[in-house]
Amino acid sequence: MIAQLVLLTFIVFLIVYAWTQRARSKLVANSVMLICVIGAGLVIYPDSATNLAQAVGIGRGADLITYLFIVIVMVAIFNLHLSTRSEQRRLTKLVREIALLTAQQPKP
């Protein structure tokens, strides 16, 4: 019971944070909120994870949650990778523009 309250409290804070960040990225915020709602349902009704796991051919609910967590983390890492590459490209372009603007003619 205590673990459920702690997990639900964490999930509620995460939902509130995702809601406040919707202006930055609606897709990410909505995805986080959806995952949190599903997580809250699994916390409140833990047997539903086992039932769902068995329905898709996985033995235990804990295994299903682990597999889903791995997929979600992989998607998040890929998203961060794409963001980092985009930022690197922007930084490279900015540095090149600054270099061209501040370039000096060599002295003869």
Please check the confidence at residue 9 and state whether its pLDDT lies above 80.
Answer: yes
- Which pLDDT score is estimated for 25? 86
Q: Which residues contact 37 (CB under 8 A, 6 or more apart)?
A: 15
Segments of 32-71 assigned E as strands:
none
Please check the confidence at residue 108 and state whether its pLDDT lies above 80.
Answer: no
- Which pLDDT score is estimated for 106? 83
- Which pLDDT score is estimated for 33? 94
In which band, very low, low, confident or very high, does the pLDDT at 13 lie, cut at 50, 70 and 90? very high
Q: What is the pTM of this model?
A: 0.72
Please state the rounded mean pLDDT for residues 31-44.
92
Distance CA 30, CA 84 (A): 22
Token code pair at residue 54: 């068995």
